[in-house]
Structure 1
Amino acid sequence: MTPKKNRSGAEFDVSTPVEVTFPPISCPIRARLHPEAAGLDDHIIAWARHADLIRDGMATDHFHRAGFGRFTAAVYPRARQLELVAEWQLYNWIVDDQLDEGHVARTAAQRLHTAARLCAQLDPDLDAPAPSGPLAAALADLWERTAKPMSRAWRERFAAHYRDFLAFTILPHTEPARIGRQSLADFRRRRRLNSGCEMSFDLIEPANFTEIPPAVAASDAYRAVRDAANDVISWTNDIYSVHKEIARGDHDHLAAVLWRLGGGTWQDALDEAAARVGDRTADFASAVRDVRAMRPLFGLDPGRWAPVEESLADLGDWIAGSLEWHRWSPRYREVAATRVGSAPGYIEPHLV
């Protein structure tokens, strides 16, 4: 593989580990953990094995160590349907791994075929075709249990966000040349779409048996809150996953974009990334204040406004909880020495 250069002329080769220190990330929001967190990792691993998403002992150990149950308990600390959203989170990490570095990631046609099969399950009328294979069958089960009590507007919103997640997880692989020349603005737009944050934010509502009023959900002011939260969470992930991405020659993350555009060292790029996370966290707080200031204009009584107020707090919990989990989890410290196009041992071929 040809070594890459940034504007300063510095080179790196994916075979050479990059030595960096994770910079401190400022977060004024206190992280909380759901009181029913204990045993959640055991539950979701058992669910995944029952759904035939995980068979091998190596995969079981890998996903158990990553602590996606703890992740869910940190980002949904007041969820009334905690096990359901934890199953969603583990499922989404498995799909992300498969599309990003798994056996379905070997050709563009395979990725598109898998994405199309999954999108077909998220029918707003709950009239999807019979699922084919474990990935589609598990999604059909999750969708049935989650979407049935929700409005059609919520179903359409979630399905659109899931489609975006699948598409923009695939696109970096189908357009590798674009990654090396994309602007920071283009990266930010695409990163929001492939992060999975939007569909995860949508799950806050069924997790708590509530819905955001459509007028608020569709407003630019509320959109700004979610965009800021998405950036903070996505960029925090980019910082903590830098060793994994560099080891695989993946340049579609914030540190790589800043390194390429700004010159300097990888440590300089990570430090700048952390500063940008801090700035966007401040933007989040400002956007929350704006939505609250607009409350009289939405014409909602206290009962109908309550889900909005709760959702603003829930999005803050997502920021704090995601950071807490990234600091704790070994997922990105245990880097598999594989390149793009090859699959680590914990990613199982039966899901293709």
Structure 2
Amino acid sequence: MITLPELPTTLPLPELQFPVPSVIHPGADRIEEQLARWATDLHLLDDECAARRFAHAQFGRFSASCHPRAADLEVAAAWNALMWLVNDVIDEQQGSDEAMLDLAHDLLAQMPIYLHAPRPTQPMTRAMADLCRMAPTQSPHWRAQIASHFRTALACALQTRHHRAHPEEGNAGLQAYIRRRRQHSGTQMSLDLIELGHEVVPVIADSDLNLDIRLQAANITGWDNDLWSLPKDHNNNDPVNLVVVLFLSRGGTWEQALATATSMTEEAISDFFTACDDLRCARPLYGTDDSEWGQLEDYLTGLADWLAGTIRWHAESNRFWDTARIPWDQSERLLPGP
């Protein structure tokens, strides 16, 4: 068990400048109730504490912020909520390692490309089966893609669980953390949801240029999350946080580590838009017609919306604003623009 040095009494708020304004889905006012009903019907919230935490986290608000143009917000919100719930179960050391591995296997079994899955046996696997039925028109390519991304996220979550339980094994270093954080965040699955109803053609979806865009999006999401969750992670002596990794590997003060992590996130935001332009420059090589390219532009718009919404939600969410233990300077609390 490691013991991290104390944080300062207060810390400056993370302030990221994102060039795309954050907008909210028109169904935002109803989505929390709809999502809670879905989770309750599937017995995901049978425990009173779980129901309270679910409401406190505002998962519906997250999806309304990150998928403001979604044709079916409830479907996107349910996918995102289940990913958060699974991640929390694994992250928070609930159950044995063997039970978590069994859960991962059972969840993946509900995601076959052609929808022939075994009968689900527990609430989370029933929820996954329900989600897969909610997207009947998605192509086998999309189904294979989201299953692959979920498998990777589960593998990294299980690995991170081990690292949290055995911090004495040491830190693998900054570059290893960055690579693992991109996958552990589960961002790739959330980005797949942008394609619900309007998929990107496989030749572009599978391209290296699109991968570059998605990896930077994952960097931004994971690192911004780390900025806001620093006090919570520090309170738990959790070394799996970019600011903590920078502090332990480079020395200096907590303020310097926080400033470096913020600067890295700002640079990733800039490069995200550069990567989008790089893909646009390659259009003549993909042989797409105007309709197919229009789908791509909708997807790129959706990616920017998703990042703007994520940054806003991190600043607003009750997951990070627990004044009993968080030393953010409350007088500086400013939310991103509307």
Q: TM-score, normalised by structure 2?
A: 0.91
* SS at structure 2 position matched to 1:103: coil
From 151, 172, 181, give the equivalent of 1:163.
151
From 212, 222, 229, give the equivalent of 1:234.
222
Q: What corresponds to 2:3 in structure 1?
A: 3
Indicate if the aligned counterparts of 2:20 and 2:308 stay in contact, CA closer than 8 A.
yes
Indicate if the aligned counterparts of 1:65 and 1:330 stay in contact, CA closer than 8 A.
yes
Alpha-carbon shift at residue 178 of structure 1 (Å): 8.1
Kindly provide the CA deviation profile for residues 217-263 of structure 1, in whole angstroms up to 9, marking residues without a partner as x.
Answer: 11111111111111011100111111221112211111111111111
Q: Distance in 1 between matches of 2:9 and 2:176?
A: 25
Q: Distance in 1 between matches of 2:323 and 2:110?
A: 33
Structure 2 segments unaligned to the other structure (5+ residues) = 326-338
Q: What corresponds to 1:22 in structure 2?
A: 13
- Percent same amino acid at aligned positions? 35
* SS at structure 1 position matched to 2:23: coil
Alpha-carbon shift at residue 333 of structure 1 (Å): 2.0
Q: Distance in 2 between matches of 1:322 and 1:179?
A: 32
Q: Distance in 2 between matches of 1:241 and 1:198?
A: 20
Indicate if the aligned counterparts of 1:118 and 1:135 stay in contact, CA closer than 8 A.
yes
Alpha-carbon shift at residue 21 of structure 1 (Å): 2.5
Indicate if the aligned counterparts of 2:14 and 2:228 stay in contact, CA closer than 8 A.
no
From 301, 305, 318, give the equivalent of 2:289.
301
Q: What corresponds to 1:71 in structure 2?
A: 62
* SS at structure 1 position matched to 2:29: coil
Q: Equivalent residues in 2 for 1:164-203 (5 A)? A: 164-175=152-163, 176-177=166-167, 180-203=170-193
Q: Distance in 2 between matches of 1:190 and 1:2?
A: 21
Indicate if the aligned counterparts of 1:17 and 1:247 stay in contact, CA closer than 8 A.
no
From 92, 100, 104, give the equivalent of 1:111.
100
Q: What corresponds to 2:31 in structure 1?
A: 40
From 246, 249, 257, give the equivalent of 1:269.
257
Amino acid at match of 2:249: L
Structure 1 segments unaligned to the other structure (5+ residues) = 5-10, 338-352
Q: Distance in 1 between matches of 2:45 and 2:324?
A: 18
Relative to structure 1, the CA distance from residue 2 to residue 95 in structure 2 (aligned partners, 3 Å threshold; closer, same or farther) is closer
1:317 and 2:305 correspond: yes
Indicate if the aligned counterparts of 2:150 and 2:189 stay in contact, CA closer than 8 A.
yes
Q: TM-score, normalised by structure 1?
A: 0.87
Amino acid at match of 2:194: I
1:122 and 2:104 correspond: no
Q: What corresponds to 1:81 in structure 2?
A: 72
Indicate if the aligned counterparts of 1:37 and 1:73 stay in contact, CA closer than 8 A.
yes
From 254, 265, 278, give the equivalent of 1:290.
278
Q: How many residues align?
A: 323
Kindly provide the CA deviation profile for residues 184-242 of structure 1, in whole angstroms up to 9, marking residues without a partner as x.
Answer: 11111111111111011111111xx1111111011111111111111011100111111
Indicate if the aligned counterparts of 2:90 and 2:161 stay in contact, CA closer than 8 A.
no
Q: What corresponds to 1:328 in structure 2?
A: 316
Indicate if the aligned counterparts of 2:182 and 2:219 stay in contact, CA closer than 8 A.
yes
* SS at structure 2 position matched to 1:39: helix
Q: What corresponds to 2:240 in structure 1?
A: 252
Q: Distance in 1 between matches of 2:44 and 2:93?
A: 13
Q: Distance in 1 between matches of 2:24 and 2:205?
A: 26
Q: Distance in 2 between matches of 1:179 and 1:244?
A: 22
Kindly provide the CA deviation profile for residues 110-153 of structure 1, in whole angstroms up to 9, marking residues without a partner as x.
Answer: 2211111111111112111111111111111111222x211111
Farther off after superposition, 171-180 or 243-252: 171-180
Runs of at least 4 residues off by over 3 Å: 16-19, 175-180
Kindly provide the CA deviation profile for residues 269-293 of structure 1, in whole angstroms up to 9, marking residues without a partner as x.
Answer: 1111111110000000100111111
